[in-house]
């Protein structure tokens, strides 16, 4: 048995009293929230509220100063993410995108998506060098899977193009496609609509919902575009200065006084 307290039924991620500071600035301050299976969960807050930092703690790019992050892994075992190295997180079933798209410019779109399947490869160094029949087969089947995902996102025709020089909308889709290769339980999206135009943003809402339904996974997203958040999220958590502010359905968050003061009040006239 694991020493980690099992998560309640139906919960996939539980963050308790998460804190991290950078030289006196409390970027995340005693933050707690829970995400249910197959839920689309939005984390909102003004610029600098600590959303990206919270994501970096969950995915172990930063080691938090305090708090626990429990996750229901692919094997249906509750794990404490803080006990894992950053490269082990994807294997547990948790995968992310980045606010400032992180792709490999020189590789093709297809190859970038295949990087997301890295942990699925069984071929070793020798097999890769001499290109054994097994290695060839494995590569072909994962290539096919990647092509299916690109088709689903509507960019299969560009599969062989290098990533460098593609428009932002395409790059965002490639990053999204890369997260789908590992059959994730929870996908974390950091501002997926940033830089997209209105039409693309509308399409993104559909894509996120379809991903949840087709891939049977939960989605945690940070977004500035309030229309997208209100449209697509089941539950929203608002934070400010790293601290918890409010949590509820999109409607409840819209009506919440604290949120209005901290965030919506200053944003509404722009929207």
Partner 1 sequence: MKKLLAQIKAYPYTKYILLGLVLATIPSLVYFDVLKSSYVTLVGVVMIYTIVSLGLNLLLGWSGLISLGTAGFMGLAAYISAYMTMNLKMPFEVTLIVSILIPVAISVLVGLISLRIEGLYLAIATLAVSEIFRKTFAEFEFITNGFSGKSVRYPTFFGFFKLDTTMTYLLLVVFMVVIMILIHNLINSHVGRALNAMRGSEAAAQAMGINLLKYRLLAFALATALTSTAGILYAHFIKYVEPSKWNLGLSLNILAVIIIGGVRSIIGTFVGSLVVFAVPDLVLKQIPYFGKIPNFAYIINGILIIVVILYYPAGLIRVFNDGKDAVVKLFKKSRGKTV
Contact set with partner 1 (CB under 8 A) = 59, 61, 85-91, 95-96, 98, 102-107, 111, 114-119, 121, 123, 125, 128-131, 135, 139, 178, 182
User: Within 83-102, which residues bind Mg ion (CB under 5 A)?
Assistant: 99
* Torsion sign across C-alpha atoms 63, 66, 72, 78: positive
Question: Does residue 45 touch ligand ADP according to CB under 6 A?
Answer: yes
User: Within 35-54, which residues bind Mg ion (CB under 5 A)?
Assistant: 52
Beta strand ranges found along the chain (DSSP E): 11-22, 25-36, 40-44, 66-72, 78-80, 94-96, 186-190, 218-222, 235-240, 243-248
Question: Does residue 51 touch ligand ADP according to CB under 6 A?
Answer: yes
Question: Does residue 48 touch ligand ADP according to CB under 6 A?
Answer: yes
In angstroms, what is the minimal distance from the CB of 102 to partner 1? 4
Nearest CA-CA partner of 190 in 230, 218, 212, 222: 222
- The partner in contact with residue 230, picked from Mg ion, partner 1, ligand ADP, none with C-beta cut-offs of 5 to 8 angstroms by kind, is none
Nearest CA-CA partner of 186 in 67, 3, 11: 11
Task: Kindly tell me which of 46 and 91 has the beta carbon lying closer to ligand ADP.
Answer: 46
* Torsion sign across C-alpha atoms 122, 125, 128, 132: negative
- The partner in contact with residue 50, picked from Mg ion, partner 1, ligand ADP, none with C-beta cut-offs of 5 to 8 angstroms by kind, is ligand ADP
- Residue 130 to residue 111: CA distance in whole angstroms: 20
Task: Kindly tell me which of 99 and 260 has the beta carbon lying closer to ligand ADP.
Answer: 99
In angstroms, what is the minimal distance from the CB of 82 to ligand ADP? 17
Task: Find out whether 236 and 249 touch, Cβ atoms under 8 Å.
Answer: yes
Pairing of strands 235-240, 40-44: parallel
**Interacting span for ligand ADP (CB under 6 A) from 41-49, 73-81, 198-206, 249-257:** 41-49
User: Within 20-39, which residues bind ligand ADP (CB under 6 A)?
Assistant: 22, 25, 27
Nearest CA-CA partner of 10 in 72, 73, 81: 72
- The partner in contact with residue 125, picked from Mg ion, ligand ADP, partner 1, none with C-beta cut-offs of 5 to 8 angstroms by kind, is partner 1
**Interacting span for ligand ADP (CB under 6 A) from 49-57, 72-80, 100-108, 110-118:** 49-57
**Interacting span for ligand ADP (CB under 6 A) from 46-54, 118-126, 148-156, 252-260:** 46-54
In angstroms, what is the minimal distance from the CB of 121 to partner 1? 4
- Residue 211 to residue 26: CA distance in whole angstroms: 34
Beta strand ranges found along 64-126 (DSSP E): 66-72, 78-80, 94-96
Beta strand ranges found along 56-134 (DSSP E): 66-72, 78-80, 94-96
- Applying CB under 5 A, the residues found at the interface with Mg ion are 52, 99
- Applying CB under 6 A, the residues found at the interface with ligand ADP are 22, 25, 27, 45, 47-53
């Amino acid at each position: 048995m694991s020493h980690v307290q099992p998560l309640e039924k139906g919960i996939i991620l539980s963050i308790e009293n998460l804190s991290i500071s950078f030289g006196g600035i409390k970027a995340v301050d005693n933050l707690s929230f829970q995400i249910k299976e197959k839920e689309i969960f939005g984390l909102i807050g003004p610029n600098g509220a600590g959303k990206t930092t919270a994501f970096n703690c969950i995915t172990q790019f930063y080691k938090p100063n305090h708090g626990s992050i429990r996750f229901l892994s692919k094997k249906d075992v509750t794990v404490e993410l803080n006990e894992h190295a950053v490269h082990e997180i994807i294997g547990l079933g948790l995968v992310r995108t980045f606010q400032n798209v992180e792709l490999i410019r020189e590789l093709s779109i297809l190859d970038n998506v295949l990087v997301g399947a890295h942990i699925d490869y069984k071929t070793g160094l020798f097999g890769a060098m001499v290109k054994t029949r097994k290695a060839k087969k494995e590569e072909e089947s994962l290539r096919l899977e990647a092509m299916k995902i690109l088709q689903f996102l509507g960019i299969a025709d560009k599969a062989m193009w290098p990533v460098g020089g593609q428009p932002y909308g395409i790059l965002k889709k490639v990053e999204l496609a890369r997260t789908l290769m590992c059959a994730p339980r929870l996908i974390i999206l950091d501002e997926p609509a940033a830089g997209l135009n209105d039409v693309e943003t509308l399409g993104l809402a559909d894509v996120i919902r379809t991903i949840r339904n087709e891939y049977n996974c939960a989605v945690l997203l940070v977004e500035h575009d309030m229309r997208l958040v209100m449209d697509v999220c089941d539950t929203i958590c608002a934070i400010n200065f790293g601290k918890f502010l409010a949590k509820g359905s999109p409607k409840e968050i819209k009506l919440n006084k604290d949120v209005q003061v901290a965030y919506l009040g200053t944003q509404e006239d722009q929207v």
